[in-house]
Amino acid sequence: MASLLQRWLLRRLDQSIALALQVRRCWPLWLAGVIAYGWALDHVRVNVSHSLPFRVVYLEHAPEDLRRGDLVVFRYVGGDEECDIALQGAPFFKRIRGVAGDRISVDGRSVRINGEPVGLAKPRSWDDLPLNVIRPGVIPVARYYMQGDGPDSFDSRYARSGLVGVDQIAGRAWVLF
């Protein structure tokens, strides 16, 4: 019995040594793979929601010149409600629709920026939670009004999502596919 166990252990040891020698011979390839994987973890993001019509983006960290129309990824902060706590820190993919100095106006549930309609706020979320419309006013410095392309997007039209601060933004996103 011991000899069967010894033979099995020796075979495993031989296989492990062969793998180690293979890795040693090909270490530049392994290193390149590890570096590429690390880069991808830091710069590639996947959109799983249906608020925008794409799935994979390249993330440009710390862009200096964010403008209206740019696609960005930001960390959701939310409020104290249970559903917000579950989402805190989640990456949101949205477009900048309003910048500092723009005026937000609300007529019923219709939201406008500088007089231009940007969307209609729904009264309830898909899971039947009440949604309050964002308050009218001027967008302050270092804040952005974010909006998804879809009518059901959870974005700055709603008070719970609100305006997004510069410190929440992970970077500008460039669509890969």
pLDDT tens profile 110-143: 999 999 999 999 999 888 888 999 999 999 999 9
Asked if residue 1 has pLDDT above 80, the reply is: no
Give pLDDT tens digits for 26-49: 788 878 888 888 888 788 888 877
d(CA 103, CA 114) in angstroms, rounded, equals 5
127-136 as b/e: b if 16+ CB within 10 A: eeeebebbee
CB hemisphere CA count around 25 (13 angstroms): 5
Asked if residue 2 has pLDDT above 70, the reply is: no
pTM over 0.75: yes
DSSP class per residue in 64-106: S---TT-EEEEE----SSHHHHHHTT-EEEEEEEE-TTPEEEE
Residue 35: phi and psi, rounded to 5, are -65, -45
Asked if residue 52 has pLDDT above 80, the reply is: no
Give pLDDT tens digits for 53-103: 778 889 988 788 899 999 999 998 876 566 666 678 888 899 999 999 999
Q: What is the mean pLDDT of the chain?
A: 87
Q: Which class for 54: exposed (0-12), middle (13-18), buried (19 or more C-beta within 10 A)?
A: middle
Q: Residue 169 has what pLDDT?
A: 94
Mean pLDDT confidence for 147-167 = 90
